[in-house]
Structure 1
Amino acid sequence: MTSSPITTIVFDLGGVLIDWNPRYLYQKLIADEQEMNHFLSTVTTPDWNEEQDAGRSIAEGTALLVEQHPQHRELIEHFYGRWPEMLGGPIQGTVDVLTELRASGRYHLYALTNWSAETFPVALEQFEFLHWFEGIVVSGTEKSRKPFPDFYHTMFTRYNIEPGQALFIDDNERNILAAQAVGMQTVHFQSAEQLRRELTERGVL
């Protein structure tokens, strides 16, 4: 089956355009790497973080975790108290791709991100390229997140996007499969070089 012509490109943010990693903070706080990895995988887990991305308040999420792990109160409170230190900067190769797509004027550009509504303003202030998108759908604001279909449909409806003509770029395979299920074309992001290669092969760049 021939794919529809691409008119819209949708970017994930964390891991695609922005280098975000809790290790950037916690390597300053926990000297032993094995101990740090254990803390991040058993206390401030990705599942816990995703609940804030999905709209739970930082205060509620932090209090819940402190109640479960009172011996780690200070380390838990640093997760959002020092959250900007988890930002490693832009993934420049991908920003370069975005720059070229924007300059071409051929596509509508949007972002679909799992991100806490309370921390997203920090990213907006720090990264100028976030202001290049025609729209950004933020999970914490919508009280839903990838990979749930309704989150993708919120974007389709709000910006009048035809799913089959939209290309979605994300580093999480779970989110890629969900995008395919709602009819989008996809690129599973692994590196800026790989993204550039795939977009060139598809005639997008």
Structure 2
Amino acid sequence: MPADAAGTWPVTLVEGPVTLRPLRRRDRRAWLDLRAANAAWLRPWDATSPVGAPPTSFGAYLRSQDRQGRSGEGLPFVVEVDGDLVGQVSIMTIVRGALWSGSVGYWISRHVAGRGITPWAVATACDYAWGALGLHRLEVNVRPENGPSLRVVAKLGFREEGLRRRFLHIDGDWRDHRSFALTAEEVPGGLVRRLRAAGQVPR
């Protein structure tokens, strides 16, 4: 019987040099500094509000992340490498019923991009969602212009399902996204195993 996400949070996942864990109050300075250092790098890909909502404080953001984890609606992880916070990977909009699905989102600091950390972190989170939580389908939606993110889904073998027109509000407008997905049956050994077999380990 698949496990229900409610009641399993908080959880920490360690796979090789990469650790996924919940955001903590003591991360405030490191998280704010990392976001500030990567503001220009992330601006074209970060979701925005079409009604111009004010910025969310770190405390409010932390509480929102914790609520989603504890309710089973999401798995919001920060990514650590060698003890340093370098990004985030989340499986959100978790739906059960007849679907048992979730949507994967991620970002990584520019100073560690290209080292294989992002696909490894995404693979670790997906394997947990398919295994411990029993989810059936995971999807990733990527702007057509986002070359680094497209390379992540290609490395992981996500199957393209089509174009979602004006799908999310990003950087001030509604943006098209290419949609990719995998079901648990398509990756019986898990994504981390797939990366290891291909020699695509973080460096």
Shared fold, TM over 0.5: no
Larger relative strand fraction: 2
> TM-score, with normalisation over the residues of structure 2?
0.30
> TM-score, with normalisation over the residues of structure 1?
0.30
Rg larger in structure: 1
